[in-house]
Chains A and B, each alone.
Chain A
Amino acid sequence: MTRLWRKGQEVEVMVDGSGTPLAFEWNGRVHHIVSISKHWRVHDGWWRREVWRDYFKLEADSGLLCIIYQGLKGNWYLQRIYD
């Protein structure tokens, strides 16, 4: 089972120089990213409401397996957690 938030839960993320996430804060603790298994990007909908999402599927040192994304305005969201 996975937990999915349609709009995502906003999270604080630390990134490296190239914008790749290193760690994020969620549920009151910092999750350090151990590995990123996938990175993909969506850029669409510009004629109505522009959507830009940089997705990362990752594993954290907490054992959390999840997808986070960065939106058009630079904010980060947690979208999905794999149980």
Chain B
Amino acid sequence: MYDYVELHCHTNYSLLDGASHPENLLDQAKALGMDSLAITDHDGLYGVVRFYRAARERGIKPIIGAELTLHRPGPVEGLAEGEGGYHLVLLAKDQTGYSNLCRLISHAQLSHSKGNASLQFEALKKHTEGLFCLSGCRKGEIASHLLAERGKEALEAGERYARVFGKENFWIELQNHLLPEDQRLIAELVDLAQHLGVGYVATNNAHYAERSGHRLQDVLVCIKNRTTLDDSAGLRYANSEYYLKSAEEMAELFADYPEAIANTRAIAEQCSVDLDLTACRLPRVIDITRNLPDFPVPEGETPFRYLCKLCWEGARSKYGTITDAVRRQLDHELRMIDKVGLAGYFLIVWDIVRFAREHGILAQGRGSAANSIVAYVLDITKVDPLRHNLLFERFLSEDAHTMPDIDVDFSASRRDEVIRYVYEKYGEQYTGMVANVVTFRARSAVRDVGKALGFPLPLLDKVAKSLDTCQAESLKDELAGIEDFADKAKYLPWQQLIELCRKIDGFPRHLSIHVGGMIITGSPLIDLVPLERATMPGRVVTQFNKDDIEDLGLIKIDLLGLRALSLIQEALELIKEHGGIEPDLESIPLDDPVVFDMLCRADTIGAFQVESRAQAQTLPKMRPRRFEDIVVEIAIIRPGPIQGNMVHPYLRRRQGLERVEYLHPKLKPILEETLGVVVFQEQVIRIAMAIAGFAPGEADHLRRAMSRHRSEFEMEKLRERFIEGAVGNGVDEQIAKEMFRQLAGFASYGFCKSHAAAFAKTAYDTLYLKAHFPTEFYCALLNNQPMGFYSPEVIVGDARRHGVRVLPVHVNRSHARCILDDGGIRLGFSYVHGLGKAGIARLEEAREDGRFKWLRDFCRRTRLSRKAVENLIMVGAMDYWRRPRRQLLWELGKLRYEEEELDLVFHDDGAKLPGLSKAEKIGIEYSVLGLPVSDQVMALYRPWLKKMGILSSLDLKDRKDKKKVKVAGLVVVRQAPPTAKGHVFITLEDEYGLVNVIVRPDVYERFRHSLRDAPLITVEGILQKQGEVVSVLAQRAVGLTTQW
């Protein structure tokens, strides 16, 4: 029995160098009987938290390390500057080692451009405490010298490393991959180690779990180097020996050096780092109270006393008189906040929101923080947790396993100002953005893997574009369903493509910035997490993603940009500018019948959260009449469950199709608000507390375990605890079991009520504006695209149907953005293709000297490109000169006119040209503006459609349920939610409104070509009417102008 631990192991977080997920490597290690395994990715700890978590779950000891790239002095032949640095493996022995690893990686990353990390030896030598150093692979400094027969340099390097790390921490690394020079190199390395008086150790520099992984590894190397397998002989490994080898295999390879094998165990035993993975219930390494910055408070105050003062002041202004209920709740929360030492955290968030408000930036908290009255009275959140019966324990409890998380939305257009403020206030050393790891999906996989295999690019493009799926894993099934590619799977290259895409699915590809996650820390960030450059210049990002940060127990604040808030903000400004009375959204009544009438008839295009196709289909069934109904609607109608035709039991009960009943009378007060059905995560917590006597933190742990699909082992433990507690409370065991089963069953539906309530408020605000200030609302909506579910063309149609006039672009009246003009909305220049920001600026600047008098005057003063002027003419921006558009184009053509040149000659030759037809106008508007100003395109076809017996969306309202109908329209939405089991949902628009079309998988396959690619289609199918919900179940579909 040999004892071997792999100490040099790359996961796929080495980013395009490493062909196995951390879990696969750990599974293989376990199968080989290894009780410890190291992770040593290139210049990063990206995969460390995931690796650590997975290792603990499998009972394997994780060894945290990295392979760093060291700066190589002097130019190297055949390599670009900065390329070809030396490799060096570092393993953390303890917390100090972990911190130093973070520091060294950050140094290497931040001192160079993104993706070119390189560490100076001078920096390395300052942070060696707590680290083991292995001399690295063939690219290590010592091995490189020996391979080039520079013995003296190798020895010098070895002495240098031994000096800075200490002889007991520096190990000469031996690798045998059956390459021609390996045996000689090993012998020389062993000699050198003996000469230096340091130990030597065997590693296999594993890059994949099993031998078969070498194919993907080869492909990844090609992707990284942007080349093909045929052209990459020198870049790829020469064989497939870089897998996780067993102790026996390694012992055989190192039969002459048994010590090299034995030393792996000695090193592994000395490495022990605890990352504070809360689920593992380890003592906190990163103490949040230590790691929160001190919030500057007025002299003589402590953060907590200052927080109390702010809260009571806030409470008085929110509630007027402070009732017992308010006092009790506020006292309770403040006590808890003090106990867990989070007063500073609340002050930080309060301060950020205050900054935003003082600078006129709309801000509001979302997520579980809206459960807190403290957040409400500090003006961080907008919903009153008492009024909406929210639960503080969902946000924070004394014995919580994770840190609370406050997410704040800001007006999207101004979020950057807020982030800048945070950087300035706390300093760059203590502030960072959280990473988001971008992974391979079907299209990127096909493109990248295909290129490496040598497929022609146009072909790959065609394959990628015809895929509907996001998952590379299902590529095979998908290709089989596409006519052009159906028979390809029998050819070897295609089989390889399919197989490799399946394997690469979900592999990390590169790092980007998480939409809003920021961490702020008390001790320098660089000691806690590795940092690197973000793509955005000047920004720094952590190498950990948001789940990692949470698991580490660090505090994160999500500062998100929400376009809906930009929309609201702009609409309010427009109301004020145009002399209207700006509504105070904080005090508008939440029971406006006009708003609920709109919801009942699903008149919600442009409204936040309640406009999607699925929402529009359920709202008429749900018939919301109270604010609380919107909260439930947002919580249950999400992509997934509903679109998969799994109607939520709540809806059945609401429609009276199912009786409202409770498993136990104790559930009634908890579930009454949702008709006996578990809808909210808060209810799971309440049930665990009330029925099974869980402590609040324990109950929240159960909630988390259910929603994050924790291990079965953990669930089983919680289940036993729940049933035992329930029985102890006098609940029948069978009923307790059934309760737990139902709780677990609803876990995937479970939604945070406070989050839904916060979003419901924003939804209500947008609906309120749409109902009472439609012109301002649509104008702001058009100015904040893209947002929400629909494109500008649909919005313009909806505006028109609500009596709002949309006016064409006008050279003398329009601005870059849409504005209110002449009682309607004047489209802005930014909707005109080909004008660009610079063009618009030039136009507006020229207009400061007075209105444009004529085409020639316009061209002379703006000197815009001919194409831009043409586009302006074609969309009617110069119609007010009362010349047909075609005539203007003709005249433009005759101008001897060059962009940015002044020389103009103009003769009137008296040509008279006909105006554009309506169809031409509409066609041009779609292509130049992306939306129709004159009319919706289907109006053109209406006479012909009538003749053909094809109905409009209006006609459908009078037809009977289950009748066969034909309907036509412009495809504005096409959705194939993964949970809908192959169903495709299409929304058609005509001049009267929208029509929902449901396409079953078999019908989709048959008519895929039209359904997927044609812009205008005719659908034949069965009309389905449920109350006011009208849809068509498609049987056939063709492009509009095609015959059946």
- In the complex, per-residue mask of B177-189: 1 if CB is within 8 Å of any chain A CB, else 0: 0111011000000
The interface residues of chain B lying within 8 Å CB-to-CB of A18 are 252
- Please state if B180 and A43 are interface contacts (CB–CB under 8 Å): no
The interface residues of chain A lying within 8 Å CB-to-CB of B179 are 40-41
In the complex, the chain B residue whose C-beta lies closest to that of A18 is B252
Q: Please give 15 more A-B residue pairs, beta carbons under 8 A apart, in addition to A46-B218, A47-B496.
A: A18-B252, A39-B178, A39-B183, A40-B180, A40-B182, A41-B179, A41-B238, A41-B241, A43-B214, A43-B238, A43-B239, A43-B240, A43-B241, A44-B233, A46-B215
Chain A contact residue count (CB 8 A cutoff)? 13
Distance in Å: Cβ of B2 to nearest Cβ of chain A: 15
Within 8 A of A (CB), among B202-231: 214-215, 218, 229-230
Could you give 30 example pairs across A and B, Cβ below 8 Å?
A: A38-B180, A38-B183, A39-B183, A40-B178, A40-B179, A40-B180, A40-B182, A41-B178, A41-B179, A41-B239, A41-B241, A42-B238, A43-B214, A43-B238, A43-B239, A43-B240, A43-B241, A44-B233, A44-B236, A44-B238, A44-B239, A46-B215, A46-B218, A47-B215, A47-B229, A47-B453, A47-B454, A48-B230, A54-B178, A55-B180
In the complex, the chain B residue whose C-beta lies closest to that of A45 is B229
Q: How far is the CA of A53 from the CA of B229 in the complex (A)?
A: 19
The interface residues of chain A lying within 8 Å CB-to-CB of B180 are 38, 40, 55
The interface residues of chain B lying within 8 Å CB-to-CB of A54 are 178
The interface residues of chain B lying within 8 Å CB-to-CB of A55 are 180
Is the interface on chain B under 10, 10 to 19, 20 to 34, or 35 or more residues? 20 to 34
Distance in Å: Cβ of A79 to nearest Cβ of chain B: 13
In the complex, the chain A residue whose C-beta lies closest to that of B239 is A43
Check B915 for interface membership: any CB of A closer than 8 A.
no
- In the complex, per-residue mask of B420-461: 1 if CB is within 8 Å of any chain A CB, else 0: 000000000000000000000000000000000110000000
Distance in Å: Cβ of A15 to nearest Cβ of chain B: 15
Check B296 for interface membership: any CB of A closer than 8 A.
no
Distance in Å: Cβ of B346 to nearest Cβ of chain A: 58
In the complex, the chain A residue whose C-beta lies closest to that of B184 is A38
Q: How far is the CA of A22 from the CA of B788 in the complex (A)?
A: 73
The interface residues of chain A lying within 8 Å CB-to-CB of B240 are 43
Q: How far is the CA of A64 from the CA of B30 in the complex (A)?
A: 46
Q: How far is the CA of A46 from the CA of B179 in the complex (A)?
A: 18
Between A and B, how many residue pairs show CB distances below 8 Å?
36
The interface residues of chain A lying within 8 Å CB-to-CB of B214 are 43
Q: How far is the CA of A41 from the CA of B211 in the complex (A)?
A: 13
Within 8 A of B (CB), among A29-72: 38-44, 46-48, 54-55
The interface residues of chain A lying within 8 Å CB-to-CB of B230 are 48
In the complex, the chain A residue whose C-beta lies closest to that of B177 is A41
The interface residues of chain A lying within 8 Å CB-to-CB of B75 are none
Check B197 for interface membership: any CB of A closer than 8 A.
no
The interface residues of chain B lying within 8 Å CB-to-CB of A42 are 238-239
The interface residues of chain A lying within 8 Å CB-to-CB of B836 are none
The interface residues of chain A lying within 8 Å CB-to-CB of B183 are 38-39
The interface residues of chain A lying within 8 Å CB-to-CB of B580 are none
Distance in Å: Cβ of A31 to nearest Cβ of chain B: 22
In the complex, the chain A residue whose C-beta lies closest to that of B241 is A41
Q: How far is the CA of A40 from the CA of B185 in the complex (A)?
A: 13
Q: How far is the CA of A58 from the CA of B531 in the complex (A)?
A: 51
Among A38, A40, A48, the one with the most B-chain Cβ atoms within 10 Å of its Cβ is A40
In the complex, the chain A residue whose C-beta lies closest to that of B211 is A43
Q: How far is the CA of A47 from the CA of B179 in the complex (A)?
A: 21
In the complex, the chain B residue whose C-beta lies closest to that of A50 is B215
Within 8 A of A (CB), among B221-271: 229-230, 233, 236, 238-241, 252
Q: How far is the CA of A44 from the CA of B229 in the complex (A)?
A: 10
Check B493 for interface membership: any CB of A closer than 8 A.
yes
In the complex, the chain B residue whose C-beta lies closest to that of A57 is B180
Distance in Å: Cβ of A9 to nearest Cβ of chain B: 21
In the complex, the chain A residue whose C-beta lies closest to that of B238 is A42
Q: How far is the CA of A61 from the CA of B179 in the complex (A)?
A: 26
Q: How far is the CA of A67 from the CA of B844 in the complex (A)?
A: 80
Distance in Å: Cβ of A46 to nearest Cβ of chain B: 6
Q: How far is the CA of A51 from the CA of B364 in the complex (A)?
A: 62
Q: How far is the CA of A60 from the CA of B214 in the complex (A)?
A: 34
- Please state if A47 and B239 are interface contacts (CB–CB under 8 Å): no
Q: How far is the CA of A81 from the CA of B239 in the complex (A)?
A: 24
The interface residues of chain A lying within 8 Å CB-to-CB of B454 are 47
Q: How far is the CA of A39 from the CA of B176 in the complex (A)?
A: 11
Q: How far is the CA of A33 from the CA of B496 in the complex (A)?
A: 41
Distance in Å: Cβ of B452 to nearest Cβ of chain A: 9
In the complex, the chain B residue whose C-beta lies closest to that of A54 is B178
Q: How far is the CA of A31 from the CA of B252 in the complex (A)?
A: 26
Q: How far is the CA of A16 from the CA of B502 in the complex (A)?
A: 39
Q: How far is the CA of A42 from the CA of B178 in the complex (A)?
A: 8
Q: How far is the CA of A43 from the CA of B233 in the complex (A)?
A: 11
Distance in Å: Cβ of B1019 to nearest Cβ of chain A: 44
Distance in Å: Cβ of A40 to nearest Cβ of chain B: 4
Distance in Å: Cβ of A71 to nearest Cβ of chain B: 14
Within 8 A of A (CB), among B972-989: none
Q: How far is the CA of A46 from the CA of B240 in the complex (A)?
A: 11
The interface residues of chain B lying within 8 Å CB-to-CB of A48 are 230
What are the nearest 8 A-B pairs in CB distance? A41-B178, A43-B239, A43-B240, A40-B180, A41-B239, A40-B178, A47-B229, A42-B239
The interface residues of chain B lying within 8 Å CB-to-CB of A38 are 180, 183
The interface residues of chain A lying within 8 Å CB-to-CB of B218 are 46
The interface residues of chain A lying within 8 Å CB-to-CB of B229 are 47
Distance in Å: Cβ of A68 to nearest Cβ of chain B: 15
- In the complex, per-residue mask of B1029-1042: 1 if CB is within 8 Å of any chain A CB, else 0: 00000000000000
Q: How far is the CA of A38 from the CA of B184 in the complex (A)?
A: 9
The interface residues of chain B lying within 8 Å CB-to-CB of A41 are 178-179, 238-239, 241
Q: How far is the CA of A44 from the CA of B214 in the complex (A)?
A: 9
Q: How far is the CA of A42 from the CA of B214 in the complex (A)?
A: 12
Among A38, A42, A43, A54, the one with the most B-chain Cβ atoms within 10 Å of its Cβ is A43
Q: How far is the CA of A44 from the CA of B454 in the complex (A)?
A: 16
Distance in Å: Cβ of A78 to nearest Cβ of chain B: 18
Among B178, B214, B241, B496, the one with the most A-chain Cβ atoms within 10 Å of its Cβ is B178
In the complex, the chain B residue whose C-beta lies closest to that of A40 is B180
Distance in Å: Cβ of B275 to nearest Cβ of chain A: 37
Q: How far is the CA of A38 from the CA of B181 in the complex (A)?
A: 8
In the complex, the chain A residue whose C-beta lies closest to that of B496 is A47
In the complex, the chain A residue whose C-beta lies closest to that of B182 is A40
In the complex, the chain B residue whose C-beta lies closest to that of A55 is B180
Distance in Å: Cβ of B189 to nearest Cβ of chain A: 17
Q: How far is the CA of A39 from the CA of B179 in the complex (A)?
A: 8
Distance in Å: Cβ of B409 to nearest Cβ of chain A: 49
Distance in Å: Cβ of A70 to nearest Cβ of chain B: 12
The interface residues of chain A lying within 8 Å CB-to-CB of B182 are 40
- In the complex, per-residue mask of A1-44: 1 if CB is within 8 Å of any chain B CB, else 0: 00000000000000000100000000000000000001111111
Q: How far is the CA of A43 from the CA of B240 in the complex (A)?
A: 6
Q: How far is the CA of A54 from the CA of B215 in the complex (A)?
A: 18
Distance in Å: Cβ of B1006 to nearest Cβ of chain A: 36
The interface residues of chain A lying within 8 Å CB-to-CB of B238 are 41-44
Within 8 A of A (CB), among B6-54: none
Among A18, A42, A55, the one with the most B-chain Cβ atoms within 10 Å of its Cβ is A42
In the complex, the chain B residue whose C-beta lies closest to that of A44 is B238
The interface residues of chain B lying within 8 Å CB-to-CB of A44 are 233, 236, 238-239
The interface residues of chain A lying within 8 Å CB-to-CB of B239 are 41-44
Distance in Å: Cβ of B333 to nearest Cβ of chain A: 62
Q: How far is the CA of A41 from the CA of B230 in the complex (A)?
A: 19
Distance in Å: Cβ of B850 to nearest Cβ of chain A: 68
